[in-house]
Amino acid sequence: MSSTYGIIGGGIAGASIAYHLSQRTDDSVVVFERQSPASETTYKSVAQYGFYGDETQYRMKRYGMKLYNRFFREPRVNPRYTSMGILTAATEADNADRMEEAVRTDGDTYFGKMGMGFDRDLVEYIDGDAIKEKLLLPPVDEEPIEGALFRPKVGYMDRPQELAYEFLERAKDNGVDVRANTAVEEITTDGGRATGLVTDGGEEVELDEVICAAGPWNIELAESVGIELPVKHTIAPILVLRPDDQSDYTLPAINHFESPYTFHRRSEDEFLIGYNPGDVYEDATVYDPRTMGETVPEEIRDRGIDLLQRLVPDLIDAKVVEEWVGIRSITPDKNPVVGWTDLEGFSIAAFHTSGIQLAPAVGKMIAQQVLDDDPTDYYDDLSITRFEGYTDHRS
């Protein structure tokens, strides 16, 4: 007997789920995307890829990197990956000392594991005075830097939207129906089970499984069927700067330890300023994606530009040529919420940032759950049941 699987959201998560389902079943798989695929959260992502996080995320990222290697070897569209490392720079001496101590003791709860073991990052502490003795960073002013951590195993996807299309093109080859410009207005239920959805065009679609991978819309959609997700939001503003004079040097991404800012080169002639207000769940809120503007708040813009010009003086004349404000989802323990919920037939894929990095493993996990009734090895760490007061329909 055939089934029909509906995926709400055509970003990197929904695309991965569609691909992994289509690799395993000939049943009908339909993706419902309110705009064009990967045009919202995925498009607005800084799209870093690095081996940091807890052991669960390490395993997930290893699977993701292996799959992306396959995709990039025989690309369907035009994704690109730039390996550049990441430099976490401290401009206060106490924080530099803290970094040095973390490296000496193989990491701590803030910086994560460090070293060269199976699930550990390769990381080096560099004193501020020695930065230009160890790294080729001609445009960077080392004077304000007291010390830094350098992780070489970090890069970024130049075109995150194209990466989602790598999944979608393969999924469509396997028969997946991708419905762009089709928003979901309602998830239908009957007798404690999800039974389908209603689109903004009034179409009623019967489904055997509803999989919600809708980024910042997850909270609202889950609430509509009585599930209060352990997920909140922070803003994710991005500034794109273009300097007057182009540099031929590939710089690492630069995280400023004492502030929420990250800087990295996106192309030969553009730099990104990213802003992450932190991962403190209690301080986060819930935003309505309908009301988010595209203009970066002036205070965030000015502080970010001033800091970038302080660390990389060559960019003092760089002009802002593009900007946007995304919505970043976060969870209480910094791991995504994936899989079954207490509503039978309704699964969730909600990230704590890192969607580009974790989406491949999330797609695989969802496919195993809905097709094989297999909780998977990730269940204890990613299931909604790990939070007090939550169950899934199998409990």
Q: Is 367 left (phi over 0), alpha (psi -120 to 50) or beta?
A: alpha
- pLDDT more than 70, % of the chain: 95
> What domains are there in the chain, each with its CATH number?
4-78+159-230+333-386 (3.50.50.60), 83-154+232-330 (3.30.9.10)
Q: For residue 93, what are its two tokens? A: 């001496």
pLDDT per residue as tens digits for the range 107-157: 766 666 665 554 456 788 999 999 999 998 988 999 999 999 998 888 888
Task: Tell me, yes or no, if the pTM score tops 0.85.
Answer: yes
pLDDT per residue as tens digits for the range 307-352: 999 999 988 888 999 999 999 999 999 999 999 999 999 999 999 9
Separation of alpha carbons 76 and 167, rounded Å: 9
- Using CB atoms within 10 Å of the CB of residue 104, give its burial: 0 to 12 exposed, 13 to 18 middle, 19+ buried: exposed
Instruction: Flag whether pLDDT at 357 surpasses 50.
Output: yes
Distances (CA, A) of 284 to 57, 234, 329, 349: 22, 6, 9, 19
Separation of alpha carbons 330 and 10, rounded Å: 20
CB 332 within 8 A of CB 230: yes
Separation of alpha carbons 106 and 63, rounded Å: 24
Q: Residue 365's pLDDT band (boundaries 50, 70, 90)?
A: very high
Residue 186: predicted pLDDT? 97
